[in-house]
């Protein structure tokens, strides 16, 4: 069961990150790794903090937000053991976890509104890896 969520954004995703943090289920522990303003910053610096946290905490997942979601997803996927997906709808959020055991959700603040973003986050956090043989086989191939 996921009990901890690490979240971070760059300047472009700051407003959406703040909205998500302020609307989280109070039973969930949320670790906010920044940024803390709309001042220009480099997204890889924040992606690395979330990825390191997720890798060190089995009961956690991460959320990364930038303008398109692409940069954060690329930065996160450089970490061995991280599987990040750039998601813009609820079904993809669910399937990314069920089929691909994704542990980092990447959102584009230019691509989703606040309500949709919260629905995606909830779908992502409430989903579990299927562990069917075909999905596990595919995940194993990604680790090589």
Q: What angle do CA 109, 110, 112 make, to 5 degrees?
A: 65
Instruction: Tokens for 13, please give them.
Output: 């995703």
Output the CA torsion 3→56→111→122 (10° steps): -10
List the catalytic residue out of 70, 99, 130, 135: 99
| CA gap 3, 58 in Å, rounded | 9
Q: Quick one: which of 11, 59, 73 has its CA closest to 31?
A: 59
Q: Is 99 a catalytic residue?
A: yes
Rounded Cα distance between 134 and 7, Å, is: 30
Residues noted as catalytic: 99
């Amino acid at each position: 069961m996921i009990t901890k969520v690490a979240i971070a954004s760059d300047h472009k995703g700051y407003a959406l990150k703040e909205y998500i943090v302020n609307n989280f289920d109070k039973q969930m522990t949320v670790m906010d790794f920044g940024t803390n303003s709309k001042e220009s910053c480099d997204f890889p610096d924040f992606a690395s903090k979330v990825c390191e946290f997720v890798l060190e905490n089995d009961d956690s997942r991460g959320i990364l937000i930038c303008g398109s979601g692409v940069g954060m997803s690329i930065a996160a996927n450089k970490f061995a053991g991280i599987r990040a997906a750039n998601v813009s709808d609820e079904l993809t959020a669910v399937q990314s976890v069920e089929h691909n055991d994704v542990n980092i959700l990447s959102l584009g603040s230019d691509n989703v509104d606040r309500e949709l973003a919260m629905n995606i986050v909830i779908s992502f956090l409430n989903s579990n890896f299927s562990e069917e043989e075909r999905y596990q086989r595919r995940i194993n191939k990604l680790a090589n």
